[in-house]
A = this chain, B = another copy of it.
Amino acid sequence: MTGWLAIAGLGPGDEALITPEVTLALDRATDLIGYAPYVRRVGGRAGLVRHETDNREELDRARHALALATAGRRVVVVSSGDPGVFAMASAVFEAVESGPAHWRALEIRVLPGVTAMLAAAARAGAPLGHDFCAINLSDNLKPWDLIARRLRLAAEADFAMALYNPRSASRPDGFARTLNLLREVCAPDRLIVFARAVSTPEERIRVVELRDATPEMADMRTVVLIGSSATRLIARDGAPYVFTPRSVPA
């Protein structure tokens, strides 16, 4: 049996957002590896071995997956969303770079998925309909100063922004600092979308202006979308639409 490794994106939660390409890889796999809540999203079957790991063990998990594929197993590393956006694909290539030379000869495929910011934007309307950026607010793997610098330059560039991992129990303060920083650069009526657990039963979408945003509106299951200065709201019965127009007048 020739082993292979696929790094697959399961999308934001709803099975209807998993691509057929990913479903096929899951059907052919002998081994699933990933953060336990993601592995549990995939149905079990006879012969499928499940390796559930903790959240902070990405590099060990990647090496384990590479070793299994080398041994001839058909391995799928699962991520939520898209595996290339703040997820497992980078960890696997970091492991390949520092690992034995024969890992470079393995068949490694990255299978894209619907990343959280695009699912969140779709629910709110089209807030990322013009130029935008994606910033991971976790300072576990980078200094806070770099995050602050990127936020400031992104606001100066008038990008819409998608903020991943805004807040967790171990990082309660970063998002409060983010809001303070945005208030220095953006007008108080800047639109913000808090999108929690999109496409799951716990989904909640909240739209506020920057002046009314508070840190408690985000948690570890939330992606936060910050509009550009051009982002507008359409009021209606029911949830409003938030969108960024395609054109910027000269």
Select A157's contact among B94, B108, B154, beta carbons within 8 Å. B154
Question: In the assembled complex, how far is the CB of residue A216 from the closest CB belonging to chain B, in whole angstroms?
Answer: 25
Interface centre among A84, A135, A141, A241 (most CB of B within 10 A): A84
The interface of chain A, by Cβ under 8 A from chain B, is 11, 14-21, 24, 58, 82-87, 89-94, 96-97, 104-105, 108-115, 118-119, 121-123, 125-136, 141-143, 146, 149-150, 153-154, 156-159, 232, 234-237, 241, 243-248, 250
Q: Are A97 and B21 in touch, CB under 8 angstroms?
A: no
A18 touching B17 in the complex, CB below 8 Å, given contacts A90-B129, A112-B122: no
Return the chain B residue nearest A145 by Cβ.
B250
Interface centre among A16, A111, A112, A234 (most CB of B within 10 A): A112
Q: Are A104 and B236 in touch, CB under 8 angstroms?
A: yes
For the A-B complex with A20-B20, A90-B129 known, give 8 more contacts whose Cβ atoms are closer than 8 Å: A16-B21, A84-B126, A94-B245, A112-B121, A130-B142, A131-B133, A133-B154, A157-B157
A110 touching B126 in the complex, CB below 8 Å, given contacts A17-B21, A19-B17, A19-B19: yes
11 A–B contacts from the bound complex (CB under 8 Å): A16-B24, A84-B128, A89-B125, A90-B126, A108-B241, A110-B122, A113-B118, A131-B133, A132-B133, A133-B133, A149-B157
- Complex CA–CA separation, A90 to B85 (angstroms): 23
Q: How many identical subunits does the complex contain?
A: 2
- Complex CA–CA separation, A115 to B113 (angstroms): 9
Question: In the assembled complex, how far is the CB of residue A116 from the closest CB belonging to chain B, in whole angstroms?
Answer: 10
Q: Are A110 and B123 in touch, CB under 8 angstroms?
A: yes
